[in-house]
Amino acid sequence: MNKRIAVLPGDGIGPEVVGEALALLDVVAELYGHTFHYDYGKIGGHAIDEEGTALPAETVELCGKSDAVLLGAVGGPKWDRGPTHLRPETGLLGLRKALSLYANLRPVKIFPALRDASTLKPEVLEGVDLLIVRELTGGLYFGTPRERRTGPTGLEVVDTLFYTEAEIERILRLGFELARTRRGHLTSVDKANVLESSRVWRETAERLAPEYPDVELTHLLVDNAAMQLVRNPRQFDVLVTENLFGDILSDEAAMISGSIGLLPSGSLGAEGTLGLYEPVHGSAPDIAGQNKANPLATYLSVAMMLRTSLGLPEEADAVERAVACVLEKGVRTGDLAQPGERVWGTREIGAEVRDQLRGGVRHGWQVTI
Ligand SMILES: NC(=O)C1=CN([C@@H]2O[C@H](COP(=O)(O)OP(=O)(O)OC[C@H]3O[C@@H](n4cnc5c(N)ncnc54)[C@H](O)[C@@H]3O)[C@@H](O)[C@H]2O)C=CC1
Ligand SMILES: CC(C)CC(=O)C(=O)O
Ligand SMILES: [Mg+2]
């Protein structure tokens, strides 16, 4: 199979984890007889430095010609003081919008080997398998006006939470559809006790529910959802929520599995359109360039890409198995290692996963998981 992948490494640890992910994809290609072409694009802070914009037009064009997009992360302190239009994050938001990627899927699973790394007690973790469906092209991150202005008492600032009913309906429908393919439970997370947008969100969920009689719908206010996620995450199957809420809840949920360095994501538009795959974490400036970043979230994002956009489920399974096996062998980056345990670097854990993938596919050897 011949596929074109747009590769946007970005800033900070982005190039490190994406570099490892491509080395892993090369092994997938070698083992299964595929050809993956990588077309590199600029986005974020380094694009600002080199092109004067966080999202050069060529990057959007490149993505449009690809079968899938793999992204690292954008941002860093160097660009934090810039004006809004010259901030790395606007590049990523702009790309999501330009590609109409309205749904961001963030699965949270437990690797049995990592029970110790989770902040939760082992008995609470048993059987956790949840999916956060985050609306990605609307809400507070995209509403206008967004501005600073001078009012009667001095500086005033405005961010706008804007949704159309149609935007709310399409993400909720996806939530119902995904719940239907899993355990049949959808939790819609909102702040309907305060926000008008959330009231429409809840009304829309109620209106759609009769069309999905096989799905049990529950509503939860976002503050309670944040608490329930760490109290008893096993109660959740699919959570569907607004852009900002989903952003925050997914970082929180990362700690159920043990580290933000483990959580993958896939962003999708209408059926048959391009998908963008990226780890949930950011550019981690505090560890950038030190061979400390955990590349597993990016590997698991690659697995999502193989399965969803490239139609290669067997290859996706093999990557996920290789990751699980390496963890089972006790290989840990610093974010996962317990006090006193050996710490592997980004490149070293990368080599372990590649070896495991080769061994698993060629010789069928793997650690029992
Ligand atoms: N999708 C994206 O490109 C995102 C970009 N950002 C940007 O990233 C920059 C840093 O943001 P932070 O709030 O620090 O969030 P962050 O996710 O980059 O880092 C938070 C903490 O987690 C650690 N961490 C993150 N990824 C890791 C990995 N793979 N392995 C080991 N440890 C990891 C970091 O070292 C840090 O201590 C900011 O400029 C922010 O805007 C933040 C989130 C997402
Ligand atoms: C630009 C930010 C909204 C990125 C982020 O935090 C995320 O998508 O998780
Ligand atoms: Mg985030």
Q: Is the CB of 44 under 6 A from ligand 1?
A: no
pLDDT tens figures, 210-229: 999 999 999 999 999 999 99
CB atoms within 10 A of CB 114: 18
The domain made up of 1-105+260-369 has a fold known as Isopropylmalate Dehydrogenase (3.40.718)
Which value, to the nearest 10 degrees, does the dihedral of the CA atoms of residues 234, 235, 239, 243 take? Answer: -70
What is the percent of the chain with per-residue pLDDT over 90, rounded to a whole number? 90
| Residue whose CB lies within 8 A of the most ligand 2 atoms, among 43, 79, 92, 95, for a mutation test | 92
| Residue whose CB lies within 8 A of the most ligand 2 atoms, among 43, 89, 95, 247, for a mutation test | 247
Judged against a pLDDT cut of 90, whether residue 180 lies above it is answered with: yes
- State the residue for tokens 């949930």: 280
Return the sign of the alpha-carbon dihedral for residues 90, 92, 93, 99.
Answer: positive
User: What pLDDT is stored for residue 360 in this prediction?
Assistant: 83
Judged against a pLDDT cut of 90, whether residue 115 lies above it is answered with: no
Binding positions: 76-89, 96, 106, 134, 223, 247, 251, 282-294
Q: Catalytic pick from 191, 212, 237, 277?
A: 191
Q: Which residue has the higher pLDDT, 338 or 44?
A: 44
What are the distances in angstroms from CA 215 to CA 69, 179, 188, 208?
Answer: 32, 7, 12, 11
Report the atom number in ligand 1 closest to the C-alpha of 74. Answer: 3
**Ion ligand 3: residues, CB < 5 A:** 247
The pLDDT of 26-48, averaged and rounded, is 98
Q: Is the CB of 249 under 6 A from ligand 2?
A: no
Report the atom number in ligand 1 closest to the C-alpha of 284. Answer: 18
The pLDDT of 31-36, averaged and rounded, is 97
User: What pLDDT is stored for residue 368 in this prediction?
Assistant: 44
Q: Is the CB of 89 under 6 A from ligand 2?
A: yes
The residues that bridge with 58 in the sheet, in sequence order, are none
Q: Is the CB of 77 under 6 A from ligand 1?
A: no
247 Cα–ligand 2 center, Å: 6
70 Cα–ligand 3 center, Å: 16
Question: What is the b/e burial string over 18-34, where b = at least 16 CB atoms within 10 angstroms of the residue's CB?
Answer: bbbbbebbebbeeeeeb
pLDDT tens figures, 131-148: 999 999 999 999 999 999
Q: Is the CB of 284 under 6 A from ligand 1?
A: yes
73 Cα–ligand 2 center, Å: 9
Judged against a pLDDT cut of 50, whether residue 369 lies above it is answered with: no
pLDDT tens figures, 39-89: 999 999 999 999 999 999 999 999 999 999 999 999 999 999 888 889 999
Contacts of residue 132, Cβ cutoff 8 Å, sequence gap at least 6: 105, 106, 107, 108, 239, 241, 246, 249, 250, 253
Which value, to the nearest 10 degrees, does the dihedral of the CA atoms of residues 235, 238, 244, 247 take? Answer: 80
pLDDT tens figures, 261-318: 999 999 999 887 899 999 999 999 999 999 999 999 999 999 999 999 999 999 999 9
Q: Name the band, by pLDDT with cuts 50, 70 and 90, for residue 366.
A: low
Q: Is the CB of 356 under 6 A from ligand 1?
A: no
User: What pLDDT is stored for residue 167 in this prediction?
Assistant: 98
Q: Name the band, by pLDDT with cuts 50, 70 and 90, for residue 362.
A: confident
| Same fold for the pair 1-105+260-369 and 118-257 | yes
Quote the mean pLDDT of the chain.
Answer: 96
Domain boundaries, the chain: 1-105+260-369, 118-257
Q: Is the CB of 59 under 6 A from ligand 1?
A: no
The pLDDT of 99-126, averaged and rounded, is 91
The pLDDT of 252-256, averaged and rounded, is 95
User: What pLDDT is stored for residue 301 in this prediction?
Assistant: 98
Judged against a pLDDT cut of 80, whether residue 185 lies above it is answered with: yes
Q: Is 214 a catalytic residue?
A: no
Q: Is 247 a catalytic residue?
A: yes
Q: Is 191 a catalytic residue?
A: yes
Cα(219)–Cα(205) distance, integer angstroms: 9
72 Cα–ligand 1 center, Å: 11
Sheet holding 2-10, edge to edge: 35-40, 2-10, 68-73, 275-279, 264-268, 103-109, 129-135, 238-241, 185-190, 216-221
- Among 3.30.830.10, 3.40.718.10, 2.60.120.920, 3.40.190.150, what is the CATH number of 118-257? 3.40.718.10
Q: Is the CB of 267 under 6 A from ligand 1?
A: no
Closest CA to 258 of 72, 125, 104: 125
- Check if the interface score ipTM surpasses 0.85: yes
Report the atom number in ligand 2 closest to the C-alpha of 75. Answer: 1
Name which residue sits closest to atom 9 of ligand 2, judged by CA.
247
Name which residue sits closest to atom 8 of ligand 2, judged by CA.
247
